[in-house]
Amino acid sequence: MQLKMNSSLTEEEKDRKQKRKVKKNRLKEQKRNLYSAWKDKWSAETEEDKLEQFFFMFQPAYEYTLQAKEDNKTKNFCFKYLFIIFLVVFGVIYAAYFLYTLFCGNGAKALVLVESGFAFILLVLFSSILSKWLDVKKYQETWARHSWQLHMMEIEMMRFVSDMVPYNAENKRMEFAKNILEIWGKNQEKFVHNMEEKEKGLMDIFSDMKNCKEWKI
- How big is the CA angle at 188 (ends 141 and 77), to the nearest 5 degrees? 15
* 194, 145 contact by CB (below 8 A): yes
Is 111 part of a structural domain of the chain? yes
Report if residue 165 sits inside a domain: yes
Q: Domain for residue 25, yes or no?
A: no
Q: Is residue 197 part of a domain?
A: yes
Summarize pLDDT for 37-49 with one digit per residue, the tens.
999 999 887 666 6
Domain range for 204 is 45-214
97 phi/psi in degrees, rounded to 5: -65, -40
pTM of the predicted model as reported, rounded to 2 decimal places:
0.68
Residue 13 placed within a domain: no
In a domain, 19, yes or no: no
Q: What is the pLDDT of residues 109-147, one digit of tens each?
A: 556 555 556 666 666 767 766 666 666 567 888 888 999
Q: 83 CB contacts (<8 Å, ≥6 apart)?
A: 130, 131, 134
- The count of domains in the chain is 1
